[in-house]
Amino acid sequence: MLRTTFLFLLAGLVKGAAMTCDLGGYKAQPGLTAAMAGEDLRVSWTGTRGEELRALFGIAQGVPVIREMAARKAGGAWTVLGKELTPEFDVVSGVRRISNQQLAPLKILNRLDPEYLEQEKWKVFWDSPLRIPGNASTNPGLPRLPEEVRRAKASYQANGCTVKTDGARIEIGFPGLSMGIFSGSLQFTVYRGTNLLRQEAIAKTEEKSVAYKYNAGLRGFNTATSGRVLWQDVARGEQKYEFGGALNTEGVALRARNRMAVVESGSGAVAVFPSPHKFFFAREIELNLGYVYYRRDSADSFAVGVRQAEVEEMYRPHGVSEEIWRKRSNQSRSFGMANFALYNAPPGTWQRMAAYYYLSPGGAAAAREAVLAFTHGDKYKPMPGYQVAVSHFHTAFHEAALDAGTLDYQAPWIPTFRAMGINIAMMSDFHGDGHADDPGPLRFADQQAYFEASRRHSDRDFLIMPGEEPDANFGGHYTMVFPKPVFWSHVREAGQQFEETDPKYGKVYHVGNAAEELELLRREGGLVWQAHPRTKGSSGYPEAIRETEYFKSDRYLGASYQSLPADLSEQRLCESRCLGTLDDMNQWGAPKYLFSEGDTYAKFPDDETYPHLLVNYVKLDRLPRHDESWSPILTAMREGSFFVTSGEVLIKSQAVEAGAVTAEVEWTYPLDFVEIVWGDGATTGNKVVSARDKAPFGSARFRIPFEAAGKKWVRFAAWDSAGNGALAQPVHLMNPKK
C-alpha cells in the first residue's frame, strides 16, 4: 500500500498538476481539432494525401512537453513517432556594431549624427559579434570583450496554454519562457493539409545592441523505438547514426544536404529542418556549417534539432599559381574572420525562433521526399514564359580561367547554378581581381578573356552575362550590365577620347565622370542599379543621388534585393531596408524596381547556396543565345516584367484592373498573406489580406479592391508561413484621377 501511494505521488510530481487551456480562440473545423484529453491537450489534423496526425501536449513541472506525437495513413494503424518530448532552445548573443564600410560613405555624406548611426547599425553586414577580440579594421569600438558573449538555455514556468484557430492552422501557446536576456512564450503550430509541426520561441529583449543566434529542438526520443538518425551528406551520400557510441555533451552538427535530418521511428519518421530562407543571415560564404544536430543524452534518450554555428569557416580558394592561391586564401580567411553577423534583436521586438518537424507514417525516404517538395528539391521551378535570373557574384571568373591556363575551365559556380534551375547568371568580375582601374590595355585584355569564357560556358538554356560592380562615378556601389560585351574603362587618362577605335578590340570607351558613364549606358543600352542599398558601401544611397540626372534616367533600374539584415521579428524577407528602399524610390519619381542579387564569392555544388539566394523570374518566351543580343532581357527588366522570389511562392500573373489588383499565385508552404502596397508621391499605404485558410501546395487568383484615384503606383506581394515570398514590381498608374 505504501509503495503504491509512493508511486502515485511520484507520477504526479513527474507529470505535474492538471493543465488548463484557454480554448476561447479555438473554432472546430473538419480536419483540424483540439480538445482536452484528461489533463492534456490533444490536437489532431489532416495532413498530406489524407494522412492523419496527432499531438498530445502537457506540462511537467512547469515545462511544456509533447506527451506523444503520431501519424497514420488514411484508415491505417497509428505509428507513434515520439513520447515525452521536451522542447529545447538556447541562444548565444553578442553586441551589434556598425561597420567601418558603412561609415566610409556616411562620412562623405556627413551623416554621422548618433541617432542616425544607431539606426544604421541594424543594417550591418560586416560584423562578427562572437569573434573575440575582432578586427579593428572592420568595426569601430573594438576590441570585443569576452563578457559581451552570453549564453542561455530556455527555462519554463507554464501553468496552462492558449489554443487559437487562425484560418487552417491551430496555434498552441505556453507562457513563461525565459532565456537569459530574452523572455516570452513557446508556441506550437499545426496546419491542415500538411504534416508540418512548427515549434518556436517567441521572445524579446529590452537590451540595446543585441545580435544573437539560436538552436532549437526536441529531446527525449527513445533509442529503442527511434533507433537512428539519417541524413544525406553534402556529396549526397546516405549517412546514419544508430546511437551505439558514447554520450554527447553538446549537439553533433550534421553537414546535411538540404538542411535536414530524419529520425526513424518504427515504420514512421520525423524530419527536422529550419525554414528554408528566414533561418539564414547573409554571408560571403555558403559553406554548409551543419544546420541540424543530434545529441545522445543517455543510454536510451537523444535529442534532435536545428542549429546555427558560432563562427564562419573558410571557403576553398582557387589558384593554380602561388600568387592566386595566396591571394584567394587570404581573402577566404579575411571573410571567415570578419563576417558572421547573426540576427538582429532591436529592443522590444518579438523574435520568432523556429524549428520545423514533418511527421510521416512512412519511412525516412518518404519524409525526406515530402520535405524537399516545399523547396522543389532546392530548385527554382520552371515557369512557361519566364527565365530565372541571378546577379552580382564576385567569382573572379576570368582570373580563375587565366590562372588555370584555359578559358574552357569550368568554374564550380557554373554547375551549382545549372543544378538549381538558373538560366541567366549576371556575373561581377573586376572586384578585387583583374585590372579594374587600368585605363585600357590591361583591362581590355581581361575583359576579352571574361567575355570569351562567358561565351564558351553558355548554351541554349544557360546564359552567362559578363556584368560588373564598377563603383566608379555614380556614388555608392552599383551593378551594371549591357546587352552585349562592351569594352570600357572606369578612368580616362589625358589624351584618351571617350569613345575610340582600338585596333585589337574595336570600339572601346574611356569613362572619366558620371555624365560620360551615363552616356555609355545610353549608347550601349545598358542598365545600372544600386547594389545593397542603404548598407555596406551604399549606406546613405540611393537617397543621396535621387536628384541626379543619372538616377532619374531610365538607365538606372533601381536597387537590388538581398535578405540582409536578418531580423526574425519581420514577417517579410528584408522588410525594412529592401522594401523601404523600393517604396521610397517610387515615391520620388519614375518607376524603379528591385532586382535580386547574391553578392557572394566562391560557390561549389556541395554548398548550401539555395537558402542564401533570391532570384528573378524575368518574363521572356525564349532565352537569347550568347552570340545574340541580350536586349530582350534588359528590356523586360526595364519594363518591370519580372518578379523576385525565394522560390517557394510564384506569381504567375498580375494586373491592375478597374477597382482592384489581381494576381494568380502558387505556393508550397502554408500561405500567410497577400498584400498590395501603394504610394501617392508622399505617403505609402497597404492592404493585407490573410490567406491562412488556404491549403499548402496550392494556387489561387486573388482580387484585392484598390481605388486608383490619387495613387501614383501600386505593387503586389505574397508571403508564406515560413517567411518565404514573392514580390511583383510596382506598376505606375497612368493619369490617376484626382
Count of the separate structural domains present in the chain: 3
Asked if residue 625 belongs to a domain, the reply is yes
Residue 272 backbone zone (phi > 0: left; psi -120 to 50: alpha; other: beta): beta
Residues 407 and 459 both lie in one domain: yes
Domain containing residue 673: CATH number = 2.60.40.10
Asked if residue 733 belongs to a domain, the reply is yes
Q: What is the percent of the chain where pLDDT is above 90?
A: 94
Residues 396 and 538 both lie in one domain: yes
Report the C-alpha gap between 28 and 272 in whole angstroms: 28
Residues 680 and 709 both lie in one domain: yes
700 SS3 class: strand
402 SS3 class: helix
How many angstroms separate the first and last alpha carbons of the chain?
87
Give buried/exposed letters for 106-124 (b at 16+ CB in 10 A, else e).
beeeebeeeeebeebbbbb
107's grid cell: 562620412
Q: Which of 101, 132, 151 delimits the end of a domain?
A: 151
Residues 572 and 664 both lie in one domain: no
Per-residue model confidence (pLDDT) at position 18: 76
Asked if residue 658 belongs to a domain, the reply is yes
Residues 625 and 726 both lie in one domain: no
Tens of pLDDT, residues 454-489: 999 999 999 999 999 999 999 999 999 999 999 999
Q: Which of 136, 151, 166 delimits the end of a domain?
A: 151
Asked if residue 725 belongs to a domain, the reply is yes
Residues 691 and 625 both lie in one domain: no
Tens of pLDDT, residues 149-160: 999 999 999 999
How would residue 17 be classed by pLDDT, with cut points 50, 70 and 90?
low
Tens of pLDDT, residues 121-169: 999 999 999 999 999 999 999 999 999 999 999 999 999 999 999 999 9
User: For residue 168, what are the β-bridge partners?
Assistant: none
Q: Which of 129, 151, 173 delimits the end of a domain?
A: 151
Asked if residue 215 belongs to a domain, the reply is no
Residues 574 and 655 both lie in one domain: no
Domain containing residue 437: CATH number = 3.20.20
Burial of 493 (C-beta count, 10 Å sphere; 0-12/13-18/19+) = exposed
Tens of pLDDT, residues 623-660: 999 999 999 999 999 999 999 999 999 999 999 999 99
Report the C-alpha gap between 501 and 176 in whole angstroms: 74
Residues 732 and 662 both lie in one domain: yes
Look up the pTM and report it.
0.96
Asked if residue 583 belongs to a domain, the reply is yes
Residues 571 and 656 both lie in one domain: no
32's grid cell: 483540424
Residues 599 and 718 both lie in one domain: no
Report the C-alpha gap between 679 and 650 in whole angstroms: 24
Report the C-alpha gap between 218 and 198 in whole angstroms: 12
Tens of pLDDT, residues 75-110: 899 999 999 999 999 999 999 999 999 999 999 999
Per-residue model confidence (pLDDT) at position 583: 98
Residues 606 and 660 both lie in one domain: no
Residues 542 and 631 both lie in one domain: yes
Asked if residue 703 belongs to a domain, the reply is yes
Q: Is the peptide bond before 611 cis (omega within 30 degrees of 0)?
A: no
Per-residue model confidence (pLDDT) at position 316: 86
Q: For residues 484, 485, 489 and 492, what is the CA-based torsion angle, rounded to 10 degrees? A: -60
Asked if residue 194 belongs to a domain, the reply is no
Residue range of the domain that includes 555: 388-485+526-639
H helices within 299-425, ranges in order?
A: 322-338, 364-372, 397-404, 413-419
